[in-house]
Chain A
Amino acid sequence: MHPGIIFLGVIIGSVLFHIFTPWWWTDIASNWGAMDDTINLTFWIGGGVFVLVCLFMVYCIFMFSYKEGRNVEYKPEDHKLEKILTIATTVGVIALLAPGLIVYNNYINTPKDALQVEVNAWQWGWQYRLPGEDGILGTAQVAKITDDNPFGINLDDPNGKDDILIEDDVLHLKTNRPVKILLRSLDVLHNYYVPQFRAKMDAIPGILTYYWFEPNKIGEYEVLCAEYCGVGHYAMRAKVIVESEDNYQKWINEQETFSDLIAKQENDKLKITIVAKSNN
């Protein structure tokens, strides 16, 4: 069998696989449809180039297989052809890059009305902090983290007092409202990734990173850690629940603020003191 037939089979097989694949994107649940569009555009242009180049190759090996005394072209260079190919490739590359950069520009510019959510990551788990009524997150430091202050919030910072603390890996979000995810890590690199939202960013100890998206489909989504973080990496999951405004309000009203936590702890201390005294 001529090897060209097998190469042709590989190309046709690749195209058919692409058309009939059952493995494709999960249904998008955020505003980043433009990312999918850019990928599809890249598929059309890139896939077209792949098919054309490979077909030309197959054509050549069919047509010009070794034959004694075949008339072979001797033409070291062809400036005109080289120029055409350079320009065509450059145009193709610009067509791919330009929309990509526009989408990226949206990605790094968070809308002003975005709801802030701080994600805390550690080996191996997640917790969340939301700003309270003042809409501002209090400053926090890894070094200040204790059992009584699980987020390391600066006690002197008045903005931190009404912060809502969620010591659980389930995060609720309201639908059709942009969310700015602020990422903090307590130890190593992590990455808060929901495939259906498309967006992701690493959490890095020592600095604050961010990304944003707008969830637009009610439902439950699995969060995966997408940056290798040690032996528990594959088990580092969490959950995001996107729900309607009302349900979200109900949920948030049940959550504890930092001052609630402090009050509860002092209460506990008091109780212990009282118990200790009465035991004397």
Chain B
Amino acid sequence: MSDEYNQENKPLEAQSSETMSGTPSKDIDYVRPAELPEQDLYHGHSFITKWIFCQDAKVIGVQYFLTAVFTGIVGLVLSWLMRLQLGYPELVPFITAEHYYQFVTMHGMIMVVYFLTALFLGGFGNYLIPLMVGARDMVFPYVNMVSFWMFFIAVCVLMASFFVPGGPTGAGWTLYPPQAILPGTPGSNMGIILMLVSLSLFVIGFTMGGLNYIITILQARTRGMTLMRMPLTIWGIFTATALAMLAFPALLVSCIMMTLDKMLETSFFMPTILQAGEVLDYGGGSPILFQHLFWFFGHPEVYIVALPAFGIVSDLISVHARKNIFGYRMMVWAIVGIGALSFFVWAHHMYVSGMNPWFGFFFATTTLIIAVPTALKVYNWIITLFRANIRMNTVMLFCLGFIVTFVNGGITGIFLGNVAVDIPLSDTYFVIAHFHMVMGIAPLMVIMGAVYHWFPLVTGRMLSEKLGKWHFWFTFLGAYSIYFPMHYLGFIGVPRRYFEMYDSPYVTSATGMNEFITVAALIVGFSQLIFIYNIVASLSIGKPAGKNPWKANSLEWLTPEVPPAHGNWGEKLPVIHRWPYDFNVPGAKEDYITQTTPPSEVISAEVEKT
């Protein structure tokens, strides 16, 4: 398929895309030719190569999605058990303190790493990147397949830790040593080792996928798809993946070092320790070193989850508000800027960790600086809604739910980032409420909105709007009533990671609220059955979607077949003439102009240069 390669044999630098001023070509539809010939893809023939060890990024995306959702359901059930223990301990006498801490740990790790990260980057990333940038597949399809199977093995190892002697680790999701590998913590033998092995496998697998995402976005964009014409979804996923490539190595080394501390009794993180009246063989290590390494990974990890959500929600809002996203370029720079800054704020998780107290000044300042680009993104989302034409469908509801929960969680983040305010609030329920609101509920709103949005593309059928709206209101109102009041437990001073709500006089007043939160959590959890039913039923009885049911502009809706086939684009790759946000352009006939529409077809439209 190299017929278009440099046909006119002009030197490449002499050519210019139509975006530049003073285009030498008279043809207004001119897009400079491809610089490299296309390569053909490997097409699977058997069931196994087509659906199991599959090299099609779309199938891999669905595989990632389903595996991540499975782990997410495990995480959800664990959260119910925790909530039952906190709200109604007499109902669940079989939950011991050991169990409780194991649930806490596995819930946290599953949700952050194996659910959210895998879902956004592995799931949405794989499905959407090639389609949205106009590529036939990822640049390394085979490595992409291996990436998923490494992730799958990592999940298997993680789940296996539920069944080993001593059970899974109960070290808290932060796995702080020395406690994580000492007998005072549940699962301090096989449990913690399997956790560390599983995380290492995850990082290895994820690196393979991540390189694919970055290189595909940089190298495999179709003609005319300049960086500043990419949908914000792609910008979010791209930046998040770049963060992951830089942050995950820190997690990997800390996992390896801790495995050595556990198995070979090295002392990377282990100082002299007295346990049960005996001095252990460790000495000279630093527990704080682990915290620095962990949060050097852990804070960018927050943005690895948040940035794809930012990107996706921008696109969903723009499509369903029938209006261009406001301040696209600022949105791009905000994503990149937040990503870069996220490597300079990690120690705000460690204000009371005993690190050098002077760090507090630096990290409080950097943390509050990050609030500026983040706030600008929020403004741009709501300004996009202003004078728009908003479809109040399920997708839009989830976007609005995202804005409310994200602003709420973002503002409590300013409390915790400001070091003097963090001191009384750290390690209390305020922290739990904050991060669940901002990186639990808010990204989940986006994920669910995205599923309602792209389900017609993936399956060719629409989801039920009626069920979707019920699902939204249960999830949004339920989750909000779990986490909004929870902040106030933190004000009282209720510490997190307490197995029992003890009898301290000023905490017993929280009993009623704990019961309420538990009930809300159960309702929210069960209401996800509506979602699952909607998906399963719509697969067979959903209304056929047809092509581009939302009248979107971006490339993924413009494939010759719906759902897109392997190779995505039929004979010829699409050619891009504009950004994906040309909605309601004055002078245009329709309220949208797709990215592939050449200027000659919409000659009367007063499009601003993008």
Contact = CB atoms under 8 A, between A and B. Distances in A.
A152 B418 CA distance: 37
Given A10-B480, A73-B387, A49 B326 contact: no
Given A17-B484, A66-B390, A53 B502 contact: no
B506 interface: yes
B385 interface: yes
Interface string B376-403: 1011001101111111100001001001
Contacts of B249: none
Contact of A6 (B186, B473, B510): B473
Interface stretch (B73-81, B215-223, B408-416): B408-416
B461 interface: no
Interface stretch (A88-96, A168-176, A240-248, A262-270): A88-96
B608 interface: yes
Given A195-B506, A231-B97, A97 B368 contact: yes
A51 B499 CA distance: 35
Interface in A198-219: 198-207, 209
Interface string A2-36: 11001100110010010001111110000010111
A108 B360 contact: yes
Contact of A74 (B170, B179, B586): B586
B389 A67 contact: yes
A2 B392 CA distance: 9
Given A10-B480, A189-B176, A24 B420 contact: no
Nearest to B412: A46
B371 to A, nearest CB: 5
A70 B419 CA distance: 48
Interface stretch (B8-16, B272-280, B442-450, B518-526): B272-280
Contacts of B157: none
B385 A60 contact: yes
Contacts of A230: 179, 182, 184-185
B415 A85 contact: no
B423 A35 contact: yes
B585 A89 contact: no
Contact of A72 (B383, B419, B427, B583): B583
Contact of B186 (A50, A90, A231): A231
Contacts of B477: 6, 10
Interface stretch (B25-33, B138-146, B308-316, B490-498): B490-498
A241 to B, nearest CB: 15
B591 interface: yes
Interface string A94-137: 00110111111101100000000000001110000000000000
Contacts of A86: 372, 376
A51 to B, nearest CB: 10
Given A10-B480, A38-B418, A204-B287, A142 B272 contact: yes
A177 interface: no
Nearest to B489: A23
B493 A195 contact: yes
A200 to B, nearest CB: 5
B101 A231 contact: yes
A220 B61 CA distance: 58
Contact of B274 (A186, A189, A229): A186
A26 B389 CA distance: 48
Given A61-B385, A183-B354, A206-B271, A26 B424 contact: no
A258 interface: no
A7 B387 contact: no
Interface stretch (B62-70, B327-335, B560-568): B327-335
Interface in A139-197: 141-143, 145, 147, 183, 186-189, 191, 193, 195-196
Nearest to A144: B279
Given A22-B509, A65-B392, A229-B184, A72 B584 contact: yes
- Size band of the B side of the interface? 35 or more
Query: Most chain-B Cβ atoms within 10 A of its Cβ — which of A7, A53, A82, A102?
Result: A53
A32 B172 CA distance: 30
A191 to B, nearest CB: 7
A189 B328 contact: no
B585 to A, nearest CB: 6
Contacts of B52: none
Contacts of B285: 206
A74 B420 contact: no
B382 A57 contact: yes
A102 B361 CA distance: 10
B295 to A, nearest CB: 14
Interface in B441-499: 473, 477, 480, 484-485, 488-489, 491-493, 495, 497-499
Given A3-B397, A207-B354, A54 B390 contact: no
A25 to B, nearest CB: 5
A232 B419 CA distance: 28
B353 interface: yes
Given A64-B385, A76-B608, A205 B272 contact: yes
Contact of B389 (A39, A66, A200): A66
A78 B322 CA distance: 18
Contacts of B591: 72
A3 B392 contact: yes
Nearest to A141: B272
B286 A222 contact: no
Given A24-B492, A72-B323, A7 B386 contact: no
A103 B484 contact: no
Contact of A101 (B273, B361, B403): B361
A231 B423 contact: no
B420 A35 contact: yes
B352 to A, nearest CB: 5
Contacts of B427: 191, 193, 200, 226-227
Contact of B288 (A103, A141, A204): A204
Given A21-B485, A122-B274, A198-B424, 7 more contacts: A17-B485, A38-B420, A64-B388, A64-B390, A74-B608, A82-B327, A204-B288
17 contacts: A6-B473, A23-B491, A36-B424, A53-B378, A57-B403, A61-B400, A64-B386, A66-B390, A66-B392, A77-B327, A100-B421, A104-B420, A187-B179, A196-B493, A202-B353, A224-B493, A234-B498
Query: Top 10 closest A-B pairs, CB basis?
Result: A195-B493, A206-B271, A230-B184, A209-B354, A103-B420, A72-B584, A60-B385, A188-B179, A46-B411, A23-B488
